Amino acid sequence: MGTTARYIVTCLWIVLFLAFLCFFTSIFIYLLFSFILSAVLYPLTRRLETWLAKIHLFGRPLGDKTVRSLSALCSVLLVLVVIVAACVFLFPALVEKANLLTSIDYNSLSVSFDKWLYSAQQFLVDYHFIDDNETIVGILVESLKKFLNVSAITKIFGGAVGFAATFAVSVFAMLFLTFFFVRDRGLFKQGILALVPAERMPRVGRIVDVISKSLAHYFSGVLIEVTCMMVLLTIGMLILGVKNAVLFGVLGGLLNVVPYLGPVIGALICCVLGIINVMSGGDYAAVWPVLLKIVSVFAAANIVDNIVLQPWIYSGQLQVHAVEVFLVILISGMVAGIPGVLLAIPVYMILRTIVLSAVHPERFEEPVEKLPE
């Protein structure tokens, strides 16, 4: 095949790939999540294979295919157990917080915040945000009536059921693909190599190996960081006597998966839940102390994360500027929503590796095992 023909074929593959992304975005996300998860599970799977290879059944060792299948199944089941455990722990706790909203005495709340409401209302009236005959309380009550009518509740319930069904299907699809990616190691790599010319296969194979290794290291670091943040936040909340400290610690730690924005979102959610806790008990004067405690714990934990955990865990693995990461996350969120935010850094790492392989091909001439850790 001539040079022109190869360029035409390459362009056709790029067009087909972009068309696939446009029309089958969810499938691409499943494949990408599964590939990343299989890279993360690879060290665990190897260790399980070592243990299972020592088992003898009826005096005979297990076959290689059986060992790979059992180790892949155990790894995927472990992920499923973690997901189910997180849902069982988080969902009932969040539903309980939502139910606490009905126990708040809104009349007493209004009296407690009369002075603040009066000042806020005067500000809004003076700057023509609301009319003279309108009140903040009245606007909030009307908004709640519109929000809490039968049709709205039905829509919310239907949306929740739809989300649960979509979430279950997505988890099943990703775990199903992950099982085969883990069991049949190199399946994803073989699929990529099938699309490139024979003379480029060694170099493309090394690029895929580098990407797999980088993703495995990165997400192993993310797992360690999330666990450490959960522990730090929970201990901090317990020391300061914040109610539901474990729930806040788990939420804050999980949201720490998203760089920069995650801790802010986690702190805001925990502050809202903390306010609901206080108001449901009628102790409105404790709102500001509780907020101060939650914000202080998140601030201290993130200082430890930025100064100690991230340099220790990642060791300069990303080697990108903070502004660069922030922009990547924002753009990914605008393009693909929540999945885009979660996949922003891994996709950026993949694209960055591909670009580096084109600009500095000499870096990818060595076998992956000799590349720096």
DSSP secondary structure of 280-348: HTT-GGGHHHHHHHHHHHHHHHHHHIIIIIHHHHHTTSS---HHHHHHHHHHHHHHHHHHHHHHHHHHH
For residue 262, CA distances in Å to 135, 149, 175, 285, 295 come to 35, 33, 25, 29, 14
Cβ neighbors of 291 (< 8 A, separation 6 or more) are: 271, 274, 275
Contact 217, 315 (CB under 8 A): no
Which secondary-structure segment (H or E) carries 182? Answer: helix 150-183
Which contacts (CB < 8 Å, 24+ apart) does range 51-54 have?
none
Q: ∠222-227-229 over CA atoms, to 5°? A: 95
* Burial call 107-116: b when 16+ CB within 10 Å, e when fewer: eebeebeeee
Q: How far is CA 64 from the centre of its chain?
A: 34
pTM greater than the 0.75 cutoff: no
Which residue, chain included where needed, has tokens 């480029």?
A: 200
Q: Which residues of the chain fall short of a pLDDT of 70?
A: 1-11, 13-14, 17-24, 59, 98-117, 136-137, 140-160, 186, 188, 195, 197, 282-284, 311-322, 336, 358-373
pLDDT of res. 233: 92
Q: Would you say 16 and 195 are in contact if contact means Cβ atoms under 8 Å apart?
A: no
DSSP for residue 57: E
Residues 6+ apart with CB under 8 A from 59: none
pLDDT in tens, 213-253: 777 777 777 888 888 899 999 999 999 888 888 888 988 88
Quote the CA–CA distance of 362 and 296 in Å, as a whole number. 48
**How far apart, in whole angstroms, are the C-alpha atoms of residue 126 and residue 297?**
38
**pLDDT single digits (tens) 336-346:** 677 777 777 77
Residues 122 and 130: their CA atoms lie apart, in Å, by 10
